[in-house]
Amino acid sequence: MSREPLTRPIITIVQHIAERQRAFPEAKGDLTWILSGITLATRIIESYVRRAGIAGVLGELGTENIQGEVVQKLDIVANETILRVLGYRDIVGIMVSEEDDEPTIVKSPGSGGKYIILFDPLDGSSNIDVNVTIGTIFSVLRCREDIDESEGTLPHILQRGSYQVAAGYVVYGSSTVLVYTTGQGVHLFTLDPSIGAFTLHTEHLQMPTSGKTYSVNEAYYDSFPDPVQKYLDWTKHNGYGQRYIGSLVADFHRTLLKGGVFLYPPTRKNPKGKLRLLYEANPLAFIAEQAGGAAWDFNERLLDKRADALHERTPLLIGSTEEVEKVMSFHDRGKS
Ligand code: AHG
Ligand code: MN
Ligand code: MN
pLDDT of 139-198, one tens digit each?
A: 999 999 888 888 889 999 999 999 999 999 999 999 999 999 999 999 999 999 998 899
Ion ligand 2: residues, CB < 5 A:
120, 123
- Residue 272 alpha carbon to ligand 1 centre in Å: 14
* pLDDT (tens digit per residue) in 298-336: 999 999 999 999 999 999 999 999 999 999 999 987 665
Euclidean distance between CA atoms 180 and 208, whole angstroms:
18
Q: Which ligand is nearest to the CA of 121?
A: 3
- Nearest ligand 1 atom to the CA of 251 is 11
Instruction: Tell me the CATH class for 213-335.
Output: alpha beta
Is the separation of the CB atoms in 13 and 138 below 8 Å?
no
pLDDT: is 33 or 243 the higher one? 243
Indicate yes or no: pTM above 0.75: yes
**CA 67 to the chain's CA centroid:** 17
Q: CATH 3.30.540.10 region(s) of the chain? A: 13-202
Q: CATH 3.40.190.80 region(s) of the chain? A: 213-335
Q: Could you tell me the sign of the dihedral formed by the alpha carbons of 47, 53, 54, 55, in that order?
A: positive
> In CATH, what is the architecture of 13-202?
2-Layer Sandwich (3.30)
Residue environment code for 149-185, b if the CB has 16+ CB neighbours within 10 A, otherwise e: eeeebeebbbbbbeebbbbbbbbbbeebbbbbbbeee
Stated length of the chain: 336
pLDDT: is 128 or 312 the higher one? 312
